[in-house]
A and B are shown apart, each in its own frame.
Chain A
Amino acid sequence: MTEPLLQLSGVHTHIGPYHILHGVDFSVPAGELTMLLGRNGAGKTTTLRTIMGLWQASSGRIRFDGSDITERSTPDIARAGIAYVPESMGIFTDLTVRENIVLAARSGPVDKNRLDWILGLFPALKRFWNLPAGNLSGGQKQMLAIARAIAEPRRLLLIDEPTKGLAPVMVRSMIEAFKSLKAAGETILLVEQNFYAASALGDSVVVMDDGRIVHSGPMSELVADQALQQRLLGLSLDAHQ
């Protein structure tokens, strides 16, 4: 059996006096889109930040592509091939759209073909190419945040609630963009509260509650089992369609 691209084993994270993650175990297979679901405060964002080294795991191991990255610095983890889109999007609002993307391409000029592919995914960005990113709407900023994450090929994308606060039409175009990214073979760990979006995209799902993994398995299994949805997430898919 091949090793998953990302593997968390017994990860605990403390933030100050608070014990947030309580032995988190899950894996992300290469080439798949894994959804990380859970109620507010379940520990999803903390999990992503711990993977990125922005908060240090107090115990447990995080392995990426066969290497232990638990104690590596954030820049080293990024250089290993993990791109991160935080919930706040982390857009540099004083920089232009172009400068935001240029900065994300660490190894040099952005490849023209790749840039055209990215702007094909998010055509709205083209109109604001030379304008400060602070001028963008919330949805456009989210597009830019994802475009920045894929400015160069990365091994894994960590994306935190990309549809949060977006209008339905924007959510739909975001889902289409993620489908294209999946089709391009990207490996993605996606935190999402919108179950409609999650069910449309996920190959597999990990559900968290109170800093622990309470369920993991194929997305199709969770979609098909409304009782399980109710128990894990307190919702039904019908209510979100």
Chain B
Amino acid sequence: MSDMAAEPTAATAELPRAKTDWLPLLLVPALALLALPFVGSPSTWVTLTVAGLAMGMMIFLMASGLTLVFGLMDIINFGHGVFISLGAYATLLVLGPLAGWALSDSIGLNLALLGLCILVAMGVTALAGAVFERVIVRPVYGSHLKQILVTMGGLIVTEQLIHAIWGASPIPIPLPQSLRGAFVFGDIVMERYRVVAVVIGLAVFLGMELLLNRTRIGLLIRAGVENPEMVEALGYRIRRLFVSVFIAGSALAGLGGVMWAFYRQTLTAGMGMEVMVLVFIVIIIGGLGSITGCFVGSLLVALVANYVGFIEPKLALISNILVMALVLIWRPQGLFPVARR
């Protein structure tokens, strides 16, 4: 961000730095530590924590695009789930011709296969996002009720298209050979694929944080979330930014779809829709439009679900709603509220 490095030349040494809101960031480690005595066994705790982190990362990948679209464009996109499904099905475009790579013992080929699946899925869902924005979303800017109805309609139509192209039956997909099984350290068991999911989720989160905080396009997105009219008055064409963010959000959902597909190892047209409740919960918990909030919210929800599922399985079903209620009582605008117009 060299072009953003303007600094006053006088008395810069004593300029104050921005304060970081650490409290919500501490929630995740605090929750993990709090769960330890209830879980009992440290090795089980590590296994549950890694599994929860992996699930949280996958939820984050699926939700991050939606929170940006919601925050910047004020669009309630109930059709977001279809990009998750489309991303998942796009893996078939790679797994078809390169099925041998999944069965190979070469970790390089396995990771290349995963990378190719991600690239193709992001390409397909970016394209689908561009069409979805132009045909379905653009005519209903400014009307939330219409947005809910038409994006829901778009979701149903696209799900039926998936049925028409790939059939209505669930399709099993193989997890690449090297990503099967688990790393075992003494009593601690960590599924390999979950570790990969954590690494990819972290990389995407850090990439998005860098983009949003260290680049001009990131500044524009953050400013646009808060006051799109003023961004236009500064001479920037916010409509192009809207479309770009919608496309990027769709591509991120596609990435999430790939990770989710390999995790389930089964494709269904409704798999995106099935996780949308969770996706909406984490973007509300995080604060609409906040990537950091979405990240923390995803980890929080997934870890709570895992810990509660282990400690008191009967409560697991309501744990997400409970987390959301508690967070909103504490911070009604979410963990990292984004100032809005």
A interface residue numbers (CB < 8 A to B)? 52, 54, 73-75, 78-79, 84, 86, 90, 92-96, 98-99, 101-106, 108-110, 112, 115-116, 119, 126-132, 134, 148
Question: Within residues 1 to 44 of chain B, which ones have a CB less than 8 A from any CB in chain A?
Answer: 2-12, 15-19
B-side interface mostly: loop
Contact yes or no, A54 B6, CB < 8 A: no
With A52-B233, A78-B235, A90-B229 as contacts: A116 and B6 at CB distance below 8 Å: no
**Docked CA distance A96–B7 (Å):** 13
Contact yes or no, B4 A95, CB < 8 A: no
11 additional A-B pairs beyond A108-B3, A116-B8, beta carbons within 8 Å, are: A74-B232, A86-B233, A90-B227, A92-B222, A94-B222, A102-B216, A102-B219, A109-B3, A115-B7, A126-B8, A148-B234
> What residues of chain B lie closer than 8 Å to A105, measured between beta carbons?
6
Least CB distance from B205 to A in Å reads: 18
List 25 A–B pairs whose Cβ atoms lie within 8 Å, in order of A's numbering: A54-B229, A54-B232, A78-B234, A86-B230, A86-B233, A90-B233, A92-B227, A93-B226, A94-B225, A94-B339, A95-B222, A95-B226, A102-B4, A103-B234, A109-B2, A109-B4, A110-B6, A115-B9, A119-B8, A126-B11, A127-B15, A129-B12, A129-B15, A131-B16, A148-B234
With A101-B6, A110-B6, A129-B8 as contacts: A74 and B233 at CB distance below 8 Å: yes
Interface size band for B: 35 or more
Least CB distance from B105 to A in Å reads: 49
Q: How many A-B residue pairs have CB under 8 A?
A: 105
**Docked CA distance A131–B223 (Å):** 15
Contact yes or no, A95 B6, CB < 8 A: no
Question: Within residues 68 to 122 of chain B, which ones have a CB less than 8 A from any CB in chain A?
Answer: none
> What residues of chain B lie closer than 8 Å to A94, measured between beta carbons?
222, 225-226, 338-339
**Interchain CB contact (< 8 A) of A109 among B6, B8, B16, B17:** B6
Least CB distance from B25 to A in Å reads: 17
Contact yes or no, B15 A130, CB < 8 A: yes
> What residues of chain B lie closer than 8 Å to A104, measured between beta carbons?
234
> What residues of chain A lie closer than 8 Å to B19, measured between beta carbons?
131
With A92-B222, A112-B9 as contacts: A106 and B234 at CB distance below 8 Å: yes
Q: Give per-residue flags for B226-245: 1 if the beta carbon is below 8 A from chain A beta carbons, else 0.
A: 11011111111110000000
Least CB distance from B27 to A in Å reads: 21
Q: In chain A, what residue has the closest Cβ to B238?
A: A75
> What residues of chain B lie closer than 8 Å to A99, measured between beta carbons?
4, 219
Contact yes or no, A102 B6, CB < 8 A: yes
**Docked CA distance A119–B6 (Å):** 12
**Docked CA distance A174–B232 (Å):** 26
Contact yes or no, B18 A96, CB < 8 A: yes
Contact yes or no, B230 A128, CB < 8 A: no
**Docked CA distance A112–B11 (Å):** 14
**Docked CA distance A202–B6 (Å):** 33
Contact yes or no, A75 B235, CB < 8 A: yes
Of B4, B216, B222, B235, chain A has the most CB atoms within 10 Å of the CB of: B235
**Interchain CB contact (< 8 A) of B236 among A75, A90, A98, A119:** A75
Least CB distance from A71 to B in Å reads: 15
Least CB distance from A40 to B in Å reads: 22
Of B8, B15, B219, B234, chain A has the most CB atoms within 10 Å of the CB of: B234
**Docked CA distance A96–B18 (Å):** 8
Question: Within residues 206 to 265 of chain B, which ones have a CB less than 8 A from any CB in chain A?
Answer: 216, 219-220, 222-223, 225-227, 229-238
Q: In chain B, what residue has the closest Cβ to A154?
A: B235
**Docked CA distance A194–B237 (Å):** 34
With A52-B233, A101-B6, A103-B223 as contacts: A93 and B15 at CB distance below 8 Å: no
**Docked CA distance A101–B234 (Å):** 11
Contact yes or no, B223 A79, CB < 8 A: no
> What residues of chain A lie closer than 8 Å to B6, measured between beta carbons?
98, 101-102, 105, 109-110, 112, 115
> What residues of chain B lie closer than 8 Å to A78, measured between beta carbons?
232-235
6 smallest beta-carbon distances between A and B, as pairs? A78-B235, A90-B230, A110-B6, A74-B232, A93-B339, A92-B223
Of B219, B223, B230, chain A has the most CB atoms within 10 Å of the CB of: B230
Q: In chain A, what residue has the closest Cβ to B15?
A: A129
Contact yes or no, A79 B233, CB < 8 A: no
**Docked CA distance A8–B229 (Å):** 23
**Docked CA distance A94–B15 (Å):** 18
> What residues of chain B lie closer than 8 Å to A101, measured between beta carbons?
6
**Docked CA distance A171–B5 (Å):** 31
> What residues of chain A lie closer than 8 Å to B229, measured between beta carbons?
54, 74, 90
